[in-house]
Amino acid sequence: MRDSARLSRRALLALAATAPVAAAAPAPATGPVLGGDRLARDTVQVGRTTGLPRRLTARSWLVADQDSGEVLAAYRAHRRLPPASTLKMLFADTVLDRFPRSGRHTVTAADLAGIPAGSSLVGIRAGTTYTVDQLWQGVFLRSGNDAVHVLAHMNGGVAKTVAEMQAKARELRALDTHVVSPDGFDHPGQLSSAYDLTLFARHGLRDPGFRAYCRTRTADFPAGGGKTFQIQNTDRLLSGAWGLRAYPGLVGVKNGYTSDAGNTFTGAATRAGRTLLVTVMHPGNRADAVYEEAAALLDWGFGHGASARAVGTLVEPVGLRHGAKPSPTSGSAATGTVAGGPSAGRLVEGAGTAVALLAGGAWVLRRRGAPKRARGRHRE
């Protein structure tokens, strides 16, 4: 039953009159909000501090401390919106450690079938052999949907990978997220939130491989025939491209764009030993707005965030007690072959975790209606 069906006709008319075009209309909260009740409110949430950036246009944003998990400030953190390529963080969280980096795979036409028209591509060709390391460079640097689809096929297929990503989201307690495709391309019902995207980044940055890929600026990529071409990271705060300066101490993580969904960005930066996370979703129409607002929020976090009282918290994955630090190699596959996939036990464990979490009812989130969107083009 759709959330909107629970609303009265009068409430629906009132929401329709005031809500922005194509925005998701929030439904009433049905229980405690993951991370704290303040994170579901429709106003800016911040502790007793000053200097918060003005004129923020994003529909949703969040600033948090990587180590403590404290949310320092947020706006509609659980609002469900199309994530674009930032969803690739969840893809990496799910698949990154399945294959050894030195493994090699010769791409087939079947590996490249079903890539949505208008996708960003790194330039993978059927018949060419790539290392797993090169494929992940294509995912992180160029946001290549072709690289994502090749890795998904290596993992047993797109449908299987989507199911595993959904189970991983539940394991991370990212309950705003609904996965339809592994690449984040616009599909009806494919949604996430600033809160969930920040969870994906926080989890990924605990993996040395994830961290290394998302901070890589350039790499040489196979062009066939023994030749290579250079690919550059599309994260403008990392590269300093298109008139933007590189943000000092930036670690990554992932940017995204489609013409229908707009811009999304989750970043992390370290200064004086402290790492902050920021997520900005769907700001104004200017191409640089997502980066400018993310940089402004990071500046605030480093300058004023230390004196801000937390307005919420980033929860730990299922099975990890609050405050515990997972091993950097937790869940990683140290051995295996490119042709192999995850064990059946791991799949059952992930699916069982999702069922147990939902059935237990320990965390009930405010749900948002899904905006209807056509497939987008010109994505990062």
**Positions marked catalytic:** 85, 88, 143
> Which residue, 294, 282, 288, is CA-closest to 376?
282
39 neighbors 74 (Cβ within 8 angstroms): yes
E strands, the chain, are: 45-46, 60-65, 70-75, 104-106, 129-131, 218-224, 227-232, 250-258, 262-271, 274-281, 312-313
> Which residue, 357, 366, 352, is CA-closest to 316?
357
276 neighbors 251 (Cβ within 8 angstroms): no
Q: How many angstroms separate the Cα of 116 from the Cα of each of 112, 169, 260, 344?
A: 10, 23, 14, 30
* Pairwise CA distance, residues 230 & 219, whole Å: 6
Going by their DSSP bridges, the two strands 262-271 and 250-258 should be labelled as antiparallel
- The C-alpha R_g of the chain, in whole angstroms, comes to 20
Token pair recorded at residue 81: 């919106």
